[in-house]
Amino acid sequence: MKRLEGKIAVITGAATGIGQATATLFAEEGATVLAADVNEEALHKTVSTILENGHKAEAFLVDVADEDSVQHFATRLEKTYGKIDVLFNNAGIDAPGGKVHEYSTELFDRIVAVDLRGTFLVSKYLIPLMLADGGSIINTSSMSGRAADLDRSGYNAAKGGVTNFTKAAAIDYGRQGIRVNSISPGTIETPLVDSVAGARDDEQGKSFRDANTWVTPLGRLGTPREIAQLVLFLASDDSSFITGEDITIDGGIMAYTWPGKMLFEKGWK
């Protein structure tokens, strides 16, 4: 039997990258996928592909940083579906902004609005659709929520907030049978990486990927499908006794006490 057979699953940030891969996998595993994003063209392409493959999906244009947009989304879901079983809060943005004293307030606020406040808003308005029957919520955090990056204090703050918000929600709703976990991906080959570091055929993008490949014990970047497999596990009954956890999926980067130590290891390539 498929692991999400008969389940109704909401995915934000579903148009590209990890969200797209998860929407595709969830549909293959029997879920009705309710895909939400602000990128209308890419969103409809993702949903059209799912439908063409004989699975169930519907597209919703939603800005997770806009409370009215999220409320309207929740109202539509309640009227059409009555409930949901799985929520994957995946929508997120990132951008380098310089050191803290150089970082623009506008950029900081925008990243927090989408990555952290958006996770809160979608949870706030969609959790009522899970209270009767329980379910699973998965939030996308980041290894950048566990440790800091240069010039990305807004992203670090937002993702650190997502990790701890996840724990708060897990405590709030455990008795209602709602499990809440977060995932912390490492460097994954997605359009977000393109926007932050440059495309694969761009000199800056290639340098970024080479550096991240070098620092990763498994010696490569992750794929969206690999992240989707973890999200599927957390969405399914296979993880029925897991809640309040943040699971790192980064090829081993966070296992180091000090990644720079490899500079002094002659055998490290």
CA 158 to each of CA 116, 149, 152, 236: distance values in angstroms, whole numbers, following the listed order: 5, 13, 10, 27
CB 74 within 8 A of CB 84: no
What are the boundaries of each domain within the chain? 8-189+223-258
One-letter-per-residue 3-state SS of the chain:
CCCCCCCEEEEECCCCHHHHHHHHHHHHCCCEEEEEECCHHHHHHHHHHHHHCCCEEEEEECCCCCHHHHHHHHHHHHHHCCCCCEEEECCCCCCCCCCCCCCCHHHHHHHHHHHHHHHHHHHHHHHHHCCCCCEEEEEECCHHHCCCCCCCHHHHHHHHHHHHHHHHHHHHHHHHCEEEEEEEECCECCHHHHHHHCCCCCHHHHHHHHHHHHHCCCCCCECHHHHHHHHHHHHCHHHCCCCCCEEEECCCHHHCCCHHHHHHCCCCC
Predicted pLDDT at 265? 61
Domain covering 8-189+223-258: architecture: 3-Layer(aba) Sandwich (3.40)
Predicted pLDDT at 251? 96
Which residues are catalytic, by number? 155
Predicted pLDDT at 211? 85
Predicted pLDDT at 267? 60
10-residue block means of pLDDT along the chain (269 residues)? Answer: 97 98 99 99 98 99 99 99 99 95 98 99 99 99 93 96 99 99 95 73 81 90 98 99 98 81 59
Half-sphere exposure of 112 (CA within 13 A, CB side): 11
CB 86 within 8 A of CB 37: no
Confidence (pTM):
0.94
- Measured CA to CA, the distance from residue 101 to residue 76 in angstroms comes to 43
